[in-house]
A and B are shown apart, each in its own frame.
Chain A
Amino acid sequence: MSEPSLPALDDAWAIFGASSGLAREFARHAARHNRPLILAGRDVEDLELDGRDLVLRAAPAVRTMKFDALDPAAAAQAAGTLDAALPGRFNVLIAFGVLGSQAEIEADPALAQEIISTNAGAAIALMLALAPLMERRQGGRLVVVGSVAGDRVRASNLVYGASKAALAGACGPLRARLARSNVTLTLSKPGPLDTAMTFGLARGLPLASAADCARDLWQAAQTGKPVRYFPAIWRWIMLVIRLLPGPVFHRLKF
């Protein structure tokens, strides 16, 4: 998996947070479309297993790399590695994230730091570190996973929602800047997905499949869609929710 000489890595996908349920399915799509892959995450030993899987699913080459979003040097290191490994155009998926429990955070507010740092701080730093590389290559797709939770922040999910709102905020200007170099930025906004993140949460809310979301996101990325809700109905749900007057919204219990 970590062969020193890789076949042409043109149009490779670099996936950050590659062990995520959504990212794993996205990588399987990329493999099916014969794209080389770089899997970045904390558990490299496990990513090697994903690498074997993806090669057997038709990825021409897979490489893994250590990436811990909370390491302040991570973004710069990742940029250095990608710059050296990928001389041609490449694409990026930023999928890492943590949900946290609002109750636990209220008991220990310092926990908010880690969630905001991961979901917003590290993701934005990584986008900023990779942007010049992608600009220099005059193309590629940058895909960032936000959430419907960032569209209007709820009290029950305050820290996570705020982190995804910050991430979405950064995407706007960055998209405009990258567009000048022919790089597209797609912000994914899934509703609840059936992944490790939601496993164990109160049942009752319908969970969409990560594989379906990944397939949809893959298509959105290919056409450079600026924002993609999944399932699509969330676009309209969030439109209504954003229009609710504050006093009404904050009285809603969810």
Chain B
Amino acid sequence: MAEVLRSLSGFGGVRHSLCHVVRPQRRAQLLHLLQGEAGPLLARGFGRAYGDAAQIESGHVIDMTRLDRLLDFDAETGVLACEAGMRLAEIDRLFLPRGFCLPVVPGTGWVSIGGAIAADLHGKNHDRVGSFGDHVQWLDLLTADGNVRRLDPIATPALFAATIGGMGLTGIIVQAAVKLQADARPAIAVRERKLTDLDALLLALQAHRPIATYSVAWVDAMARGKSLGRSILEIGEPAEARSTLKAAPARRLPLKPPEFVPLKWIGKGFNAAWPARIPAAGRDRVVSRERFFYPLDAVAGWNRFYGKRGFHQFQCVLPDERAADGLRRMLELTVRSRAGCLLAVLKTLGSAGRGYLSFAMRGHTLALDIPARADAPEVLAALERITLDCGGRVYLAKDSALSPEALAAMYPELERQRIAWAEIDPQGRFQSDLSRRLQIRETAP
């Protein structure tokens, strides 16, 4: 199997690493990999993690995207087994006509089953259905010893918990079974509301939390003073499609913004123009699932909008009790620091995930793009401090800046994860730039 030396980065494009990449197309090619070279290795899906989770400098990266076969589907139980390279949007495309859909989907359709499990994704309905890993029945993991083990929550609870949300560091997920949701509808009825400030937004989110199926708020991260937290809240309910729905072809961003135009100006235009589309009384419409869940996928290459240096994404979850305070401080900080954040996304999460390193906990989760300018590390460090202070945590699938100390403080089950690693990968074959940066395998000092 051909091997290429490639410079890989996450979706944010901040840090690049030279990796030896292979892309198996048959199962046997994958299984033989562990018998080959020594040295660190890691699985990679579509590279939609924003930071450095899916790359390993000078190590071997296994591109899983060509191992993407459906294996079994039980229409009685809704359980689908497929290979780890299967793309989430493809599953919905194939199963919606049969009345099934994935219970949890992220903000892009370009995510593999392996990546979804490794990051233990959350969607816009976390309060309702939990994280992606909650729907995984079993998974087959290729481990450092070259064996494939079937993991499930009953027979192998520790290894299962170490792999769900384990960021690819326990081994390579070969295939997995996920329980699809029955009675799926092809469209979403969306209600959009404008909210004038953070308090109004939090109240509205709270009010919808027990009743809405999907909810997400787009926060104008440049609004300051009385408008701090100004946003649009989207509430979605499954709906029948209107016959006029058509998937729009992906548009490319026509031009990269010239590097000399301050991002702030672009952002001003962008953020000021955008809410004007929605009347004061709000707006109701029916959109396709793709349009609702994957709005950014319609603009191919939007991540290059921030230019060559790329951008960080910061995402944290704050426990409910501290959310109002913490979110206000975070938004104030980003406005004040002129860090160039345009847009923030706010959602609520329902309960903890099944993995030792699962991101979810009951609370509010905020995601911000931060252009990789000279002051970005400072802003990220300040955001980390606020997160810690509020008893929250940072999402590893987005992270490119967390410190090892903060990781240990945010993830109380890290020690159990380390015990599982000692059993399943004692030599530490599975590594990533993220695991090295966070010294994730080392025992706390």
Flag the segment in A44-52, A72-80, A145-153, A183-191 that touches B: A44-52
Question: Which A residues lie within 8 Å of B25 (CB)?
Answer: 19, 21, 195-196
Which among A46, A53, A196 is the interface contact of B28 at CB below 8 angstroms? A46
* Interface residues in B, total, Cβ within 8 A: 17
Which among A43, A53, A57 is the interface contact of B26 at CB below 8 angstroms? A43
Is A7 positioned at the interface, with any CB of B under 8 Å from its CB? no
Helix, strand, loop or mixed for chain B's interface?
Answer: mixed
Report Cα–Cα, A45/B28, bound state, in Å.
9
Contacts A46-B28, A52-B71, A200-B4 known; 9 new A-B pairs at CB < 8 A? A19-B25, A46-B27, A49-B83, A52-B70, A56-B72, A56-B73, A196-B23, A199-B2, A200-B3
With contact pairs A45-B27, A199-B4, A200-B4 given, residues A21 and B69 touching in the complex (Cβ less than 8 Å): no
Question: Which B residues lie within 8 Å of A196 (CB)?
Answer: 1-2, 23, 25, 66
Contact residues, A103-154 vs B (CB, 8 A): none
Which among A21, A43, A45, A53 is the interface contact of B66 at CB below 8 angstroms? A21
User: What are 8 sample pairs from A and B whose C-beta atoms fall under 8 A apart?
Assistant: A46-B27, A49-B27, A52-B69, A52-B71, A56-B73, A196-B66, A199-B2, A200-B4
Contact residues, B52-91 vs A (CB, 8 A): 66, 69-73, 83
Is B94 positioned at the interface, with any CB of A under 8 Å from its CB? yes
Report Cα–Cα, A52/B66, bound state, in Å.
16
- A52 & B72 in contact (Cβ 8 Å cutoff): yes
**Residues of B bordering A, CB below 8 Å:** 1-4, 23, 25-28, 66, 69-73, 83, 94
Which among B1, B2, B3, B71 is the interface contact of A53 at CB below 8 angstroms? B71
Report Cα–Cα, A179/B66, bound state, in Å.
37
Question: Which B residues lie within 8 Å of A49 (CB)?
Answer: 27, 69, 71, 83
B211 to chain A minimum Cβ distance, whole angstroms, is 35
Report Cα–Cα, A131/B1, bound state, in Å.
34
Report Cα–Cα, A19/B66, bound state, in Å.
11
Considering the complex, give the chain B residue whose CB is closest to the CB of A24.
B25
With contact pairs A52-B71, A53-B70 given, residues A199 and B23 touching in the complex (Cβ less than 8 Å): yes
A6 to chain B minimum Cβ distance, whole angstroms, is 20
Question: Which B residues lie within 8 Å of A21 (CB)?
Answer: 25, 66
Which among A19, A45, A57, A195 is the interface contact of B70 at CB below 8 angstroms? A57
Which among B3, B26, B73, B83 is the interface contact of A19 at CB below 8 angstroms? B26
B223 to chain A minimum Cβ distance, whole angstroms, is 41
Question: Which A residues lie within 8 Å of B83 (CB)?
Answer: 49
Question: Which A residues lie within 8 Å of B27 (CB)?
Answer: 45-46, 49
Report Cα–Cα, A49/B68, bound state, in Å.
10
Q: Most chain-A CB neighbours within 10 Å: which of B4, B70, B83, B94?
A: B70
Contact residues, A195-219 vs B (CB, 8 A): 195-196, 199-201
B259 to chain A minimum Cβ distance, whole angstroms, is 24
Question: Which A residues lie within 8 Å of B66 (CB)?
Answer: 21, 196
Report Cα–Cα, A46/B30, bound state, in Å.
11
B28 to chain A minimum Cβ distance, whole angstroms, is 6
